[in-house]
Amino acid sequence: MTDMVFGELRKEGDYGWWGKQTLDFGGNTVTVEVLILQGEEDEIAECQKKAFQCFLERWPDLQTELIDALIKYYNEEEYDSYGPEDEEEAAEWWPEIKTEKALLQAVTLETIVIPEDFIMDGERCLYLLFSRTWGGEDLDDNGIGVRYRDEEIDEIGYKDIAF
């Protein structure tokens, strides 16, 4: 299916529609998956389209705040919160991330998730999902999820906040 807002989309499984979007993130061009979650309906709701459009329009301005918020999240919530007790091994698990450059080396923007329309509750809502390099091998895919409401960061946590 081709949608005027999301472009070329494919239906996979019970989740919804999948597409791709190319963005600039921290000076690098990245192609990310876009997942539009669907329930019983096969239609993409207008509020889902609006959330995506508004986010893309503001994306160039949102990046600085996002990068700063991710650095803060790492240092206040994640850093040294679990892992090996050996100092050398722990240093490998928990690199110093204080700058945009260090953060961009440690995270990869992978997916934009547009939730079902009933979750939006009158607000524009979407999630950015990142993989990350710290904290050892990520066997459970517990990267970072960032929820935006009306183009403002509302929550940062593990990826599963989007589901």
Name the one residue in this structure whose structure tokens are 């998956």: 33
The chain-wide mean pLDDT, for the chain, equals 92
**Each residue of 83-108: pLDDT tens digit?**
888 888 888 889 999 999 999 999 99
What pTM was estimated for this model as a whole?
0.93
Q: What are the angstrom distances between the C-alpha of 4 and each of 1, 7, 123? A: 10, 6, 21
Per-residue pLDDT at 87: 87
Query: What's the whole-number mean pLDDT along residues 112-122?
Result: 89
**Each residue of 32-50: pLDDT tens digit?**
999 999 866 678 999 999 9
Which domain, by its residues, includes 47? 2-162
Query: What's the whole-number mean pLDDT along residues 149-162?
Result: 94
Number of structural domains, the chain? Answer: 1
Rg of the chain on CA atoms, in Å: 17
CA end-to-end distance (rounded Å), the chain: 24
